[in-house]
Amino acid sequence: MRILITGGTGLIGRHLCKALLEEGHQLTVLSRHPETVAVKCGAAAQAMISLDEWQPERFFDAVINLAGEPIVDEHWSARRKQVLRESRITLTEKLVQRVAAAKQKPKVLLSGSAIGYYGDRGDTELDDAAPAGKDFAAKLCKDWEEAALVAEKHAVRVCLLRTGLVLSKSGGLLGRMLLPFKLGLGARLGDGRQWMSWIHIEDYVALVLRLLNDDQMRGPFNMSAPQPVTNAEFTRTLAKLLHRPAFLFAPKPVLRLAMGERAALLLEGQRVFPAKLVAAGGQFKYPELAGALDDLLHQ
Ligand SMILES: NC(=O)c1ccc[n+]([C@@H]2O[C@H](COP(=O)([O-])OP(=O)(O)OC[C@H]3O[C@@H](n4cnc5c(N)ncnc54)[C@H](OP(=O)(O)O)[C@@H]3O)[C@@H](O)[C@H]2O)c1
């Protein structure tokens, strides 16, 4: 397939590009830094610096849309919130305009979202049909999904990737946690009762390939392992595998003071189940956390 991917240089994108190239697909990666594409995504990947390069005559079989400014890195000022929205929603709107203008439409659009779609839901078990939350992150995901769904008007199959916490050794949540945990400074966040719905990067990539190829799959998909854990259990499991203590905890008020509204990403959670993927026979090589972490730590 000829595939256009946005966010291909990111944590998920790099793993995905490698798998897509290995399967023999032709990749075009939209990036603000085209000179990095060959190194990050693979020598065979072509770079595109602007969507203006997608002229109506140009054909892609599939579009994968993962681009977005990192959500946890910076304080959520009004300006930052706007940047977070534009890098996802405005970019997706522009992408769908290109889909609409294309003489021959792509067959499928796989577009990013996150389990933050559901907002803070305590212990409630959330399948793919659960309603959206109301906080900033939830609204961001909802609007991002709605922008992508416009492609359905052009007879494009749309899958929405409601992504859980992707575990990879090369970055993301686990990449950030490893150093403090190795130093014995791993800490539960708040009371540790908030849910963490995680997924091993290998399973994530395999599931994206399934969504790409299976014409029956459409709509939202919870992209997380079938056994979510609480933050306390995550902390215990990681510390045990690293043979380090984890007696510390980061008090809620301190995190709220240091991070402001953004602290919700750490102190609130979603107990998500990949019901649609499981019903469609989706397989998880790493369904439980200890096995997933053990594999990643020994890579
Ligand atoms: N990793 C997770 O655990 C997780 C969980 C839930 C949801 N997600 C979502 O899934 C997507 C991919 O995640 P990731 O971890 O791979 O993200 P990442 O490593 O931060 O990469 C995101 C990519 O988006 C592009 N990008 C960033 N800011 C942009 C902007 N202002 N305009 C255009 N492109 C921009 C960048 O590409 P260039 O620098 O090449 O332009 C970057 O490589 C993100 O949208 C993220 O919100 C991730």
> Residue ranges of the chain with pLDDT lower than 50?
none
Please tell me the residue having the least CA distance from ligand 1 atom 37: 7
DSSP three-state, residue 251: coil
Instruction: Find the helix packing angle between 91-101 and 136-149, rounded to 10°.
Output: 10
Q: Which pLDDT score is estimated for 58?
A: 97
Pocket of ligand 1 (CB under 6 A): 7, 9-13, 31-33, 66-71, 87, 91, 112, 114, 163, 165-166, 172-173
Q: Which pLDDT score is estimated for 246?
A: 87
Please tell me the residue having the least CA distance from ligand 1 atom 45: 68
Q: Please identify, by atom number, the ligand 1 atom nearest to the C-alpha of residue 37.
A: 40
Q: Which pLDDT score is estimated for 152?
A: 98
Q: Which pLDDT score is estimated for 39?
A: 98
Q: Please identify, by atom number, the ligand 1 atom nearest to the C-alpha of residue 68.
A: 45
Q: Which pLDDT score is estimated for 267?
A: 92
Distance 246 CA to ligand 1 centre (A): 30
Smallest CA-to-CA distance from 157 within 199, 117, 105 is with: 105
Q: Is 129 exposed, middle or buried (0-12, 13-18, 19+ CB in 10 A)?
A: exposed
Predicted TM-score (pTM) of this structure:
0.97
- For residues 13 and 7, the answer to whether their CB atoms sit within 8 Å is yes
DSSP string, 33-77: -GGGHHHHH-TTPEEES-GGG--TT---SEEEE-----SSSS---
Q: What is the pLDDT of residues 132-187, one digit of tens each?
A: 999 999 999 999 999 999 999 999 999 999 999 999 998 999 998 999 999 989 99
Q: Which pLDDT score is estimated for 247?
A: 82
- For residues 99 and 253, the answer to whether their CB atoms sit within 8 Å is no
